[in-house]
């Protein structure tokens, strides 16, 4: 049966009359309300889905970024994305290693010993194996030392200073020798004595290691011979009766480099 109002026509037939305006208004209102509810519900579901998708895009510090891009790092350094990967600023270049202003090193080299002392960008070194010897002097730049023989410039030491030791190469004009010398403190280190005897120049050199081992030579007009054992702070007498007074490196350093 229809929802209109029934009546009879003049001919006696039943006629379906249209519903009154009030009923139509109620029906339209119900339909409009239902449609608005669907729109609101649909919009809310869409917003929730979009929020969930954005929540999956996290910044490096764990926070969500509304635009989907990484946020600032906690340190404040910005992070940019390139092809989906963060681009970070390069770390600063490490500062150059600077040589110590004052340091003394001693160690073994082949069958002999090497001592090297640094003072304000200059260096003095001594090699001795009891039969041969060589005094060297040179410069230190950053952590590299280059020294040449005081009498023979073909003799050379090239060394690197790092972590309390010296690693280098000693070239005596033959096969270069590798050496490693560690930091030493008095009474260990390098000693030298000079004298003039009957017109001849006498030079003595000694290297004393931290464990007490030592080596030395005394040269007369450039001809070396084994030196007597050194007792730091005491004079030394050679086999021919010559008395020498060894000095530590602080006392003779400028004598060698000038």
Residue 172's closest CA among 148, 208, 189, 144? 148
List of residues 6+ apart from 112 with CB closer than 8 A: 127, 128, 129, 130, 132, 215
Q: What is the pLDDT of residues 41-94, one digit of tens each?
A: 344 444 444 544 444 434 444 444 444 444 444 445 444 444 454 555 544 443
Distances from the Cα of 212 to the Cα of 34, 114, 179, 251, angstroms: 103, 15, 19, 21
Q: How far is CA 104 from the centre of its chain?
A: 25
Whether 232 contacts 248, CB under 8 Å = yes
Distances from the Cα of 198 to the Cα of 178, 236, 256, angstroms: 39, 18, 23
Strand partners, 106: 115, 182
Say what the pTM is: 0.63
Half-sphere exposure of 230 (CA within 13 A, CB side): 29
Whether 114 contacts 184, CB under 8 Å = no
Q: What is the pLDDT of residues 100-158, one digit of tens each?
A: 889 999 999 988 999 999 999 999 999 999 989 999 999 999 999 999 999 999 999 99
Q: What is the pLDDT of residues 173-209, one digit of tens each?
A: 888 999 999 999 999 999 999 999 989 999 999 999 9
């Amino acid at each position: 049966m229809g929802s209109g109002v029934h009546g009879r026509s003049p001919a006696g037939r039943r006629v379906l009359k249209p519903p009154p305006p009030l009923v139509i208004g109620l029906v339209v209102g119900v339909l409009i309300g239902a449609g608005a509810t669907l729109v609101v519900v649909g919009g809310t579901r869409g917003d929730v889905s979009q929020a969930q998708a954005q929540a999956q895009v996290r910044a490096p510090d764990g926070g969500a970024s509304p635009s989907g891009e990484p946020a600032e790092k906690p340190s404040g350094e910005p992070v940019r994305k390139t092809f989906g990967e963060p681009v970070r600023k390069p770390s600063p270049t490490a500062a150059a290693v600077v040589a110590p202003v004052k340091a003394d090193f001693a160690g073994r080299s082949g069958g002999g010993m090497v001592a090297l002392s640094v003072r304000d960008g200059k260096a003095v070194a001594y090699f001795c194996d009891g039969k041969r010897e060589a005094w060297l002097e040179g410069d230190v730049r950053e952590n590299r030392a280059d020294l040449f023989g005081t009498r023979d410039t073909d003799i050379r030491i090239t060394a690197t200073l790092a972590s309390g030791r010296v690693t280098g190469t000693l070239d005596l004009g033959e096969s270069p020798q590798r050496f490693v010398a560690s930091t030493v403190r008095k009474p260990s280190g390098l000693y030298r004595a000079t004298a003039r005897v009957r017109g001849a120049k006498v030079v003595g050199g000694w290297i004393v290691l931290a464990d007490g081992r030592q080596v030395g030579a005394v040269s007369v007009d450039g001809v070396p011979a084994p030196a007597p054992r050194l007792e730091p702070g005491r004079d030394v007498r050679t086999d021919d009766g010559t008395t020498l007074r060894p000095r530590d490196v602080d006392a003779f350093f400028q004598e060698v480099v000038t």
